[in-house]
Amino acid sequence: MTAERRQFISPFQYNPGNDPSVITYLQGLKGGDAPGTFVLVGANNSPGPTPVGLVYQGPLDRVMRRGVSGSGTWSTVAVPKRFGAAGTSVYGPDNFGAGLGNLVGAYTRSLGNQTPSSDNPAIVGFTYTGALNGSTATGWRSVQGTTQLGVKGSYTFVHSVDGGLAVGNTDNADVDDLTGYFSLSSTAFIVELATGRQTPIRFPGERDPLVTHTAYGIWANGSGKYTIAGGSGEVLNEEASRVSAGEAYLIDYDSITGQFSNYTTFSYRNRDRTDLITHFEGIYRTDNGSYRLPATSVALNDEGDLAIASEVTIKRNKKGEFRAKASWQDLDVTRSSDGAVSVLSTANSLYGDVTVGFANYPDGNSGLTPLDFVSRLL
């Protein structure tokens, strides 16, 4: 797979009126009802700093009308005000067909000058079942995760949904002032959409307080079996204030027996890189049983001046275990208007031969222009 065999559309956005202050974030992708169509979800910052959830249904084509991409249909999505939601970000869809499906993500709460806590969370996860445009009022459910410290998280994100289960992670940023990849308290979990019941993902060595996990992708393999993707972080120095090493991982889950198995970690390009945290952002299973994963590798320096988007292919061996050696392909993301190559990029979701993500391009004045992108193998 090479850049010459790819088509990039950057930006692919929902920005009515071409407001230069509005940025669209593409975060989740599944197939649509017809061949060549997709369900794409994300958020943008219109009309202000709080995010507005987005759902797009249709082809990922080059059509652009007054800042709105694609010949399909965009819908703005918001968690109902009864939940105390100030802003919404949609991370993952699951398409049932005929305009119905599941959505998962997170919503922000307005805390004013209050400090986020277990009893007063800043960000709460959600699940939703109903019309994919978000119009089913009774379809929403809040999700507040429980950390490995045994307390409710002040920040909870639900990242991916497939086959009736969703995965996410939760943490208390007041512990280390960090969320996501770098949090020392991040805990990964599974949530059942029909009941809201949560199950912590059980990793080898999980009782080690210096190990943290996130869960960003889940794929239903059939017969109650699932594969989960995300990232594992480790603190190498007990006095460190952040994760100092990290690898992507896959793990299998049997929803009938409740057992986890085949936990396997992966580093960028199969190398022992101590200067990068590598993370799987989603998961897709091919017809031949291989897994294709969008990956982001982030620099572990104070400047954070490196982010690499990749597509990764992983196969199983004859025993059903994941092969330790993965196939990596970095994405040289290009801007549609002038072919400029991104210097910082993330791969956020993948379905079939399409990857969506986010890129930053040099603006010619020592700054960066942030734009989302769609990448398709030709």
Contact 315, 323 (CB under 8 A): yes
Q: What is the pLDDT along the chain (378 residues), one digit of tens a residue?
A: 344 589 999 999 999 989 988 999 999 999 999 999 999 999 998 766 678 999 999 999 999 999 999 999 999 999 999 999 999 999 999 999 999 999 999 999 988 888 888 999 999 999 999 999 999 999 999 999 998 778 899 999 999 999 999 999 998 865 444 555 445 568 999 999 999 999 999 988 655 555 788 999 999 999 999 999 999 877 655 555 555 568 999 999 999 999 999 999 999 999 877 778 899 999 999 999 999 999 999 886 655 568 999 999 999 999 999 999 999 999 999 999 999 999 999 999 999 999 999 999 998 888 999 999 999 998
Amino acid present at 251? I
Show the domains of the chain with their CATH numbers: 31-332+343-351 (2.120.10)
Give the separation between CA 301 and CA 273, rounded to whole angstroms: 13
Give the separation between CA 219 and CA 297, rounded to whole angstroms: 22
Peptide bond into 93 cis (omega under 30): no
DSSP three-state, residue 302: coil
Tokens linked to 153: 């998280």
User: Which residue(s) pair with 43 in the sheet?
Assistant: 25, 53
Peptide bond into 16 cis (omega under 30): no
What angle (nearest 5°) sits at the alpha carbon of residue 361, between those of residues 157 and 301?
60
Tokens linked to 134: 């978000």
- Terminal C-alpha separation, the chain: 9
**In this predicted structure, what is the pLDDT of residue 242?**
56
Contact 103, 131 (CB under 8 A): no
**In this predicted structure, what is the pLDDT of residue 1?**
39
Question: Got the DSSP string for 22-61?
Answer: --EEEEEEEE-SSTT-EEEEEEE--SSSS-EEEEEEE---
Amino acid present at 132? L
